[in-house]
Amino acid sequence: MDLRGKMEEKYRNIIIDYLRDQSEQTLYQGQKFSRELIEKKISPEEIVSLHKGLLLDLYPNVPESVIHSFDVLLEVMVGYGLAYREHQSLRNKQMEFRTEMEIAANVQQTLLGTSIPVVEGLDIGAISVPARHMNGDYFHFVLDDHQCVNVAIADVIGKGIPAALCMSMIKYAMDSLPENRHAPHMVLESLNRVVEQNVDPSMFITMFYGMYNPSNHIFYYSSAGHEPGFYYDAQTGGFSEMEAKGLLLGIDKKTKYQQYEREVHPGDMIILMSDGVTECRTEEGFLERDALISNIRKYIHLDAQTIVNNIYKDLERLQDFQLRDDFTLIILKRNV
């Protein structure tokens, strides 16, 4: 028996069962049958036609008008059938697209790849999740010859593939920086010149660049219009903003950046992020920076990587699992 014949018989049996007992059990069979029909790509207009044929067969004296009325229902269902078959095709496109994006994201990963350095006395956690498929946020660690931990966090204005294309450029630029990475303000100044020269004038990049020197426990940093980080003082238990002024990269090639510093005591934390963390929009409006702080407090006893992972998980759910912006959060915690 061919597929259509089999389906016809199945439907016939379900209908006959249901006419006998009207049970939930039979309706459940109907639902499973629906799943099967859809898997086998049978269009809804065919079901309507099947139903009409069955009625005619089971009740030869059913009024003619009832049978005629099915012609109209059939006509209407053809439109849904088309939508349904377009749906199949869009699903396939969606799959192809997802595969392509996975490859592209891997290429991006290879291009932008960084690894979190292992340094005695410093516990580092970092997470970066794209809102769509490719990341327009970027973070980068370099452990230099003096055992200083350099950390960069950047955000292209914009999301998705266009932003990702830009971000790969930044990576090439960072790789070709001269070896004296020691001064954050100088790093930003030279990156600014590259961006100004090479990137589409409508694209801007915010960046925070910091360097932690484990021999004097000082964190040096500069910011190019980037979302300010937080500083956690273990002794007072208080959080303060790491304010830093500076123009975005790519606006004016002569921009100078100011450099700031903080002494880091045992238990203190430096928390860096992109605006996707603080501007995560929930049903009740934007998440306040204060709310983020109480979120951090909740997990403060854990290690840095677990803290950032947990915070991401909480915020993801708050946003109903749909990120509005790329999300990057980094925590540096000086161990006792």
Partner 1 sequence: MGIQSCVKILNEWDIVAARQLGRNVAKELGFGTVDQARITTAISELARNIYLYAGQGQICIEKIYEGSKAGLKVIAVDSGPGISDIRQVMEDGYSTSGGLGAGLPGVKRLMDQFDIISSLEKGTDIRAVKWLR
Residues that bind Mn ion (CB under 5 A): 136, 155-156, 274-276, 325
CB nearer its own copies, residue 138 or residue 239 = 138
Write down the least CB distance from residue 200 to Mn ion, Å. Answer: 14
Asked if 283 is part of the footprint of partner 1 (rule: CB under 8 A), the reply reads no
What is the Cα–Cα distance from 333 to 243, expressed in whole angstroms?
A: 19
Tokens encoding 51: 């139903």
Q: What is the largest CA-CA distance in the chain?
A: 96
Q: Which does 325 bind (CB under 5 to 8 A by kind): its own copies, Mn ion, partner 1, none?
A: Mn ion
Q: Which of residues 58-77 bind partner 1 (CB under 8 A)?
A: 71, 74-75
Nearest to 169 by CA among 195, 130, 208: 195
CA distances from 34 to 13, 41, 71, 165 (A): 14, 11, 22, 44
Q: What does the per-residue mask of binding to its own copies show for 140-179, with x meaning CB under 8 A?
A: ------------------x-xxx-xxx-xx--x-------
User: Can you tell me which of 93, 253, 265, 297 binds partner 1, judged by CB under 8 A?
Assistant: 93
Write down the least CB distance from residue 133 to its own copies, Å. Answer: 9
CB nearer partner 1, residue 256 or residue 313 = 313
CB nearer its own copies, residue 89 or residue 215 = 89
Q: Which does 13 bind (CB under 5 to 8 A by kind): its own copies, Mn ion, partner 1, none?
A: none
Q: Which does 155 bind (CB under 5 to 8 A by kind): its own copies, Mn ion, partner 1, none?
A: Mn ion
Asked if 107 is part of the footprint of partner 1 (rule: CB under 8 A), the reply reads no
Q: Which residue is nearest to Mn ion (CB)?
A: 136
* CA dihedral angle for residue 245, residue 248, residue 253, residue 255, rounded to 10 degrees: 0
CB nearer Mn ion, residue 50 or residue 287 = 287
CA distances from 15 to 2, 3, 30, 39, 52 (A): 20, 18, 9, 20, 12
Whether residue 276 contacts residue 328, with contact meaning beta carbons closer than 8 Å, is answered with yes
What is the Cα–Cα distance from 277 to 136, expressed in whole angstroms?
A: 14
Whether residue 304 contacts residue 124, with contact meaning beta carbons closer than 8 Å, is answered with yes
